[in-house]
Structure 1
Amino acid sequence: MLNLDPRSIILLGGIMSMLMSVVLYFLRRNYPPSIGGLTEWATAPALIFVSTLLLGARGMIPDFLSVIVGNVILLVGLALLYFGSQRFFGLPPSLRLWGAVILAAAAVLVWTRVETHYGNRVLMMALVMSLISFAHLRLLVRHGARSLATYLTASSLLILTLAQVYRFAWALGAPADDKLLLLSPVQTVLFTIYALCILMITIGVVLMATDKLRAEFEHLASHDSLTGVLTRRALLDACGQELERGRRKGRAMSLLMMDLDHFKTINDSHGHLKGDQVLKDFAARVASQLRRPDSLGRFGGEEFVALLPETSLDEARIVAERIRAEIEADDRGLPPYRVSTGVTTTAAADADLDGIIARADAALYQAKNKGRNRVEAIAPPTQ
């Protein structure tokens, strides 16, 4: 490996980058807009490929294109990978900071070409590349999920950073004349590490995007698309799990079955768009009154169910009254609406979840029959 021509290594790395750019481009076209950063991630490997063509054509094209333009495009490609990760995590890309750094690097490249200080040019490139890689690595450590994709990308960035730091130290003793394609073991190893790291970083970001897409699909499968709370099926699963856990530990859980009063009138008078806004507002305001272990789901239409683990009937009734008061206190610019709530809790005599839900539903009908905008509770059977 140490006898390989660095020109061949650079070109091979560029080809691999271009292939990954094509993969990322198709991901960008088919993935939802909620997954940010794909445009930057797709463009970066393509730019790196262009830079490798220019750097590899040294001696066949003007030095301005190969030495200055090629290196600047390489830095822009690395910065775009970083910007893509910033957008992926919902952060604004630091364009001004790194744009200024790359412009300063371009000025140094021009100066080193005029003065033919190859060692200074390598010092500058190694320094800027290590800074970009380290900033990218720091971003992943702070915001990345604990997954194989994050570990792969972060490890590749760490190796690339260390390799560039070593290259910086090696360049301190490099000669001033132009030795870019010098057949030395150090050059060959460093170029090989660079090519492999760029490939692994692009593979890593593809895996990160895939992980996020899978997480979004899982969220959509278990959460109501309008209100963001659990779907009926997901809520029933959560209730079933909590019921089993309560039986093992001898603890009760409570259910609040809530129904918006005269919701059809809101839709008929103000339109379904306003009705949707009311449902979203209700879900948000109920969630603000629940604890972290509690769960809220949309049971159907304007009916919602809250699961309160390890909560007695009296405690659950207090929560329901707090929710009712919150809804009644402020309409927040929406059509006024109120809520009726049925409350129940579990007991050893409960055979299954269906009976508990039926009891909460019966309590809800009591609340409606007694005038609505109220809370009614039904205790579980003692036998």
Structure 2
Amino acid sequence: MINDIATLLLALLLCHALLLTHLLSVRRTVLGRRPEIRLLLLASLAMSCGDLLMMLRGQLPGPFWLVLSNSVIAAGARLMSVSARCLLVGRGLCRIDLTCWLAGSVGMMVLVALKLPYSWIVSWVSLWLTLLLLPALLLLMHHGRRSERALRMVLGGCVICLLSTLTRAVEPHLAAQEPVSLLQPASPLSGWLFLAMTFGAFSIQFGLLMASFERSAAQLEQMATTDGLTGCLNRGATRALVGHEIERSRREQRPLALVLLDLDHFKRINDDHGHAAGDAVLQGFAQAVRSRLRQSDIFGRMGGEEFCVVLPSTDRAGAHEVVDALRREIERMTVTPPGGAGRLRVTVSAGTVVFDPLVERLTPSADQLFARADVLLYRAKHAGRNQVQTSGWVSLTPV
């Protein structure tokens, strides 16, 4: 068992070194700049140093090295816990983290200074590690289900680590003989517990790395498809979804309405009140429209003050009613610009084109629907603005 734990320590050091090398290689990328990854890098560095100190403990006798090696390992455990907290709730290192770590180190120094049996030192370190990791487990149980799937690996690793440390806190006192050191355990169970703690720690670290990667990928995907100002889909994502909705409309034989909305005299707002006021109007408009749409509807910004709404399973009469209700809602809306200087009002013109596969045999492309809606929007603008023009896609006879 002595050789087994020594070999396990060497494997543990190599694995931590490999993880540390990977984290260092990505530190200048989008993933590496995330705060939880930086904390994970520090945790991996502390774990690597702690593994090395434990391996060299036989060549570095004395109580100082015993305290130092366990304190470095404990620092790595706390940094892992803080990394999970940073990912889940956005809180990084704080004073209480340092206090918990220092309290454990001082307590261990006291035990060593009193020359208590090694079994009591094992129990103290095990309970210390349990308290350092416990906050991560509680946060994962509360927030982890609503977050990335890889956090299940982190949760499992925390459970394994905590069960192992709690068992290890009791095991030396039940053994037939007093343990001398980590490399000279009192029973074979010590080796298995050390293996379980090692597996749990790696599950936490790799799980955090994968969860951070998941979140980065999701954020990049959102940036690629979402308009940053209004939270709507951007032009490219909207046009792609319109093509899918046309095919589904044809396949399911259900009508589809496409609406182009354009804010009236928006340039005056930017010229008279500034672009910050214009941004506030766009945000207020998007929020008002979004609040009246169904979950299945599509809402995107085509550029500037022009927006697009796609209404699946909506016929010509229903589409005109929905869009006219949106027009009235915008007409009643007031927006307070930054600085609170007065209230701004705005109106919107809309062109609505409806494709009904039960009535029209020809299936349009996305470009054709957009072109028809643009013609209707042009008519609404030249008819006096603040109105809705609606038509089937083949016939441009408006409602």
Q: Which residue of 2 aligns with 1:70?
A: 69
**Partner of residue 150, structure 1:** 151
Aligned-partner SS, 1:327 = helix
Residue number in structure 2 paired with 1:102: 101
Equivalent position amino acid for 1:163 in 2: S
**Partner residue of 2:53?**
54
Q: Mark the CA change 1:137 to 1:10 in structure 2 (over 3 Å): closer, same or farther.
A: same
Aligned-partner Cα distance in 2 for 1:332–1:224: 22
Aligned residue among 326, 332, 336 for 2:336: 332
Q: 2:298 aligns with which of 270, 295, 312?
A: 295
Question: What does residue 118 of structure 2 align with?
Answer: 118
Q: 2:233 aligns with which of 221, 230, 234?
A: 230
1:116 Cα shift?
1.6
SS class of match (1:29): coil
Structure 1 counterpart SS, 2:353: strand
Map Cα deviations across residues 150-195 of structure 1 (whole Å, 9 max, x no partner).
3443433333333223323313325566433205533333333333
Cα offset for 1:279?
3.1
Q: 1:182 aligns with which of 168, 177, 184?
A: 184
What is the deviation of 1:95?
A: 4.2
Offset at residue 84 of structure 1 (A): 1.1
The equivalent residue for 2:174 is 173
Match of 1:129 in 2: 129
- Larger mean CA deviation between 319-328 and 291-300 belongs to 319-328
- Residue number in structure 2 paired with 1:27: 26
The alignment status of 1:343 with 2:352, answered yes or no, reads yes
Q: How many residues align?
A: 382
Which of residues 383, 390, 397 in structure 2 aligns to 1:377? 390
Contact 2:100–2:132 under 8 Å retained in 1? no
Structure 1 pair 120–143 and aligned structure 2 pair: CA distance change class (3 A): same
User: Could you tell me whether the CA contact under 8 Å between 1:18 and 1:49 is conserved in 2?
Assistant: yes
Q: SS of the counterpart of 1:298?
A: strand
Equivalent position of 1:358 in the other structure: 371
Separation in 1 of the partners of 2:108 and 2:269? Answer: 68
Asked if structure 1 preserves the Cα contact closer than 8 Å seen for 2:262 and 2:350, the reply is yes
Q: Contact (CA 8 Å) 2:171, 2:190: kept in 1 or not?
A: no
Change (3 A) 1:172 1:373: farther
In structure 2, the residue matched to 1:160 is 161
1:60: how far off? 4.3
RMSD: 3.2
TM-aligned CA distance change 1:58 to 1:339, over 3 Å:
same
Aligned with 2:256 (options 244, 253, 257)? 253
The equivalent of 1:243 in structure 2 is: 246
Q: Partner residue of 2:320?
A: 317
TM-score, normalised via structure 2 length: 0.82
When residues 33 and 305 of structure 1 are mapped into structure 2, their CA distance, relative to the original with a 3 A threshold, is farther
Shift, 1:234, TM fit: 1.5
Identify if the C-alpha distance between structure 1 residues 32 and 274 changes in structure 2 by more than 3 Å, giving closer, same or farther. Answer: farther
Paired-residue identity, %: 29
> Structure 2 CA distance, aligned partners of 1:34 and 1:270?
38
Partner of 1:307: 310
SS at structure 1 position matched to 2:245: helix
Structure 1 residues 90 and 281: CA distance shift in structure 2, 3 A: farther
- The structure-2 alpha-carbon separation of the partners of 1:326 and 1:76, relative to structure 1 and needing over 3 Å to count, comes to farther
Contact 1:6 1:187 in 2 (8 A): no
SS at match of 1:217: helix
Which region of structure 1 is more displaced relative to structure 2, 35-44 or 351-360?
351-360
SS at match of 1:30: coil
Give me the whole-angstrom Cα distance separating, in 2, the residues matched to 1:146 and 1:91.
13
Structure 1 residues 125 and 311: alpha-carbon distance in aligned structure 2, compared to 1, 3 A threshold:
farther
Distance, in Å, in 1 between the alignment partners of 2:134 and 2:377 is: 58
Q: Distance in 2 between matches of 1:237 and 1:309?
A: 15
- Counterparts of 2:169 and 2:266 in 1: how far apart (Å)? 69
The answer (yes or no) to whether the contact 1:116–1:176 under 8 Å persists in 2 is: no
Deviates more, 1:156-165 or 1:96-105: 96-105
Structure 2 runs not aligned, ≥5 long: 339-343
Alignment equivalent of 2:222, drawn from 210, 215, 219: 219
Letter in 1 for 2:363: A
